[in-house]
Structure 1
Amino acid sequence: MSVEEHKKQAASSVKCMIITVSDTRTKETDKSGKLIMKLLEDRNNEVSEYQIVKDEYDDIRSLLHRASERNDVDAVLLNGGTGISFRDTTYEAVRDSLDKEIPGFGELFRYLSYAEDIGSAAILSRAIAGICKHTAIFSMPGSSGAVSLAMNRLILPELTHVLREVNKDRR
Structure 2
Amino acid sequence: MSRIDESRDFLPVRIAVLTVSDTRSTSDDRSGDTLVDRLTEAGHSLAAREIVRDERDAIAAILRRWCADDAIDVVISTGGTGLTGRDVTVEAHRDVYEKEIHAFGTIFTIVSMNKIGTSAVQSRATAGVAGGTYLFALPGSPSACRDAWDEILAAQLDYRHRPCNFVEIFPRLSEHQRRK
TM-score (normalised: structure 1): 0.91
1:145 counterpart (120, 139, 143) = 143
The residue that corresponds to 2:93 in the other structure is 94
Q: Match for residue 171 of structure 2?
A: 167
Indicate the percent of aligned positions where both proteins have the same amino acid: 33
The separation in 2 between residues aligned to 1:7 and 1:101, in whole angstroms, is: 30
Say if 1:139 and 1:8 are closer, same or farther in 2 by CA, change over 3 A: farther
Partner of 2:132: 134
Amino acid across the alignment from 1:155: L
* Structure 1, gaps ≥5 residues long: none
The separation in 2 between residues aligned to 1:148 and 1:114, in whole angstroms, is: 14
DSSP-derived class of the 2:54 partner: coil
Q: Distance in 2 between matches of 1:10 and 1:60?
A: 34
Deviations 1:24-62 (A, max 9, x none): 011110111011001110111110111110010000111
Once the two structures are superposed, the pairs formed by residues 16-27 of structure 1 within 5 Å of their partners are 16-27=15-26
List, as ranges, runs of 4+ consecutive aligned residues in structure 1 with deviation greater than 3 Å. Answer: 2-11, 168-171
* Structure 2 residue 56 is the aligned partner of structure 1 residue 61: no
Output the CA distance in 1 between the equivalents of 2:130 and 2:53.
21
**In 2, Cα distance between the equivalents of 1:25 and 1:71?**
28
Aligned Cα root-mean-square deviation (Å):
2.2
Count of matched residue positions in the alignment of Structure 1 and Structure 2: 169
Please name the residue that 2:77 is paired with.
78
Q: In the alignment, does 2:156 pair up with 1:158? A: yes
Render the CA deviation track for 1:71-111: whole Å, top value 9, x for unaligned. Answer: 11000010000000000000100012111111111001111
